[in-house]
Structure 1
């Protein structure tokens, strides 16, 4: 296991290096920069704008800018936001905490919904419970996340007024209190619920297929022939083996949650890194954009490593070399 982790970490280093080059070059290839919007202001002094661009090194060759940027990133310095006039790490840090809590709640809801539905669908396949779950799967698979989130926001936020429609906390509550914690959860329910319902599709289908395949193998038949109750056959034999792909898929679920945050955070006005990413692109704040893409790429690579580690730990017969 230790060799696997070390080997994968060593592989991640050149992968991140290649991603950093692509991200930086794509950011520079986009039209304009952080000072472009100011230059469009009729009261802005062109000479002053040109002086600031030279001072910030925006006129240097792209390779020179990249080398300067990557040296700072290696030291944990992602630069300064041109828009917010604050260090990028400080801006991202405030939003990152919100996205992490939203992602945790999304994953909890995803598995709390997907695992029971997958078990029901696989155990009673081709019967009415399976048909209901399969119909739900078709619906969630065919519905884009942003469409589903808008419907949820309209119904539960505006029409029925059951949950907040924006923000991450009620400004009237005091920080550190139990009411503060409840307010955080209350603001996360709609975006997390919207993303979780769409994310259950793959997990339900994987678990259903695994249960159907496993229950016709020899070892469940042997257990039944020995008089083991059917409920124990499912819990101790079939389900235990069927959960392997679900456990291995956890890392990829984390990647999906990060990608979905871009949609749900903007739709629900939730102040996380997804909303910050879109606003930074609109404002041409490329120092923030490159930092966010690099961080999410690292999270995706770590999620993939986590999936392999979980699969190897859950089933000792599997060793990923």
Structure 2
């Protein structure tokens, strides 16, 4: 196990290097440079002063020299500076990371709380009214675009009924660190988290349902029934455990995805997380933030693959990754 993990971590180094080259040169191919966002936010900026700053920052250097400087900073944990927000990219991402993390965790928990019982019950009572209802829900969830459901729930429960906030992660004036502060943050989480969970349950329900249907026909389940094992224990001890493989296969991606951010969800609900920051940085041409967020997303995708392999090998002893 440790040899496999170490080997995969070493393989990630050239993968991350190739990813950094792709991200950097694609960013350079876009119109403008790192100071373009500064021009947008400060229209009266002196062109001569801007050119002097561009020269000082090395933006007029050859592209390979710029890449080398950027990679050296990246290796030391320096993600650059946001010239739109006037602070370091590391500090900017850190200020949004907590919101994205909590939203991602709540969505993940709600997804499994909804998907696992529905998937097991749907597979156990195949072709029943319950199964048909669950399958219909998954089809509807799969066909519904995220922004449609998000706008609908925001309009109904936010604007019409006024049950939930329509933007932000906490109300203005609430003192940080108090119990009222955390309750208020949780209150702002409910609507976007439920929206994300309702649409992300589709794949988990379908995979789990199919696995339950296939597993209950296997020989070891028939043997357990022939020995008089109660049906409830057969499902809890045999079928359910062996049906978790699809969930385990994607669990690594889900765990790393909690800090990847959701562009549409955060933007629609005005939730100040990394997803909203990414979209704003693109529109404002804040390239240092864009490249940093894409690089982080790429790293999380590679890490998610590694975690999925390790988790899958733990769940199913038949799988050997050494």
Indicate how the Cα distance of structure 1 residues 224 and 125 shifts in structure 2: closer, same or farther if over 3 A, else same.
same
Deviations 1:202-244 (A, max 9, x none): 1001000000000011111111111111111111111111112
**2:148 equivalent in structure 1:** 147
**Aligned-pair CA distance for 1:83:** 1.2
- Alpha carbons 1:145, 1:198 under 8 Å: kept: yes
What is the CA–CA distance in structure 2 between the aligned matches of 1:21 and 1:245, rounded to whole Å?
Answer: 33
- Alpha carbons 2:38, 2:84 under 8 Å: kept: no
Unpaired runs of at least 5, structure 1: none
Decide which moves more: 254-263 or 57-66.
254-263
What is the CA–CA distance in structure 1 between the aligned matches of 2:275 and 2:159, rounded to whole Å?
Answer: 23
**1:114 equivalent in structure 2:** 115
Mapped pair 1:11 → 2:49: no
What is the CA–CA distance in structure 2 between the aligned matches of 1:319 and 1:197, rounded to whole Å?
Answer: 34
What is the CA–CA distance in structure 2 between the aligned matches of 1:75 and 1:39, rounded to whole Å?
Answer: 28
RMSD: 1.6
Aligned length: 321
Deviations 1:156-212 (A, max 9, x none): 111111111111112232211221111111111111111111110110010000000
- Alpha carbons 1:173, 1:180 under 8 Å: kept: yes
What is the CA–CA distance in structure 1 between the aligned matches of 2:102 and 2:212, rounded to whole Å?
Answer: 32
**Aligned-pair CA distance for 1:256:** 5.5
Q: TM-score, normalised by structure 2?
A: 0.95
**Aligned-pair CA distance for 1:35:** 3.1
Q: Equivalent residues in 2 for 1:1-321 (5 A)? A: 1-36=1-36, 43-254=44-255, 261-321=262-322
What is the CA–CA distance in structure 2 between the aligned matches of 1:155 and 1:12, rounded to whole Å?
Answer: 45
Deviations 1:3-50 (A, max 9, x none): 121111111111111111111111111112343365577743222222
Indicate how the Cα distance of structure 1 residues 218 and 39 shifts in structure 2: closer, same or farther if over 3 A, else same.
closer
**Aligned-pair CA distance for 1:245:** 1.8
Decide which moves more: 204-213 or 288-297.
288-297
**Aligned-pair CA distance for 1:314:** 1.4
What is the CA–CA distance in structure 2 between the aligned matches of 1:162 and 1:291, rounded to whole Å?
Answer: 36
Deviations 1:260-301 (A, max 9, x none): 611111111111111111111111111111111111111111
Q: TM-score, normalised by structure 1?
A: 0.95
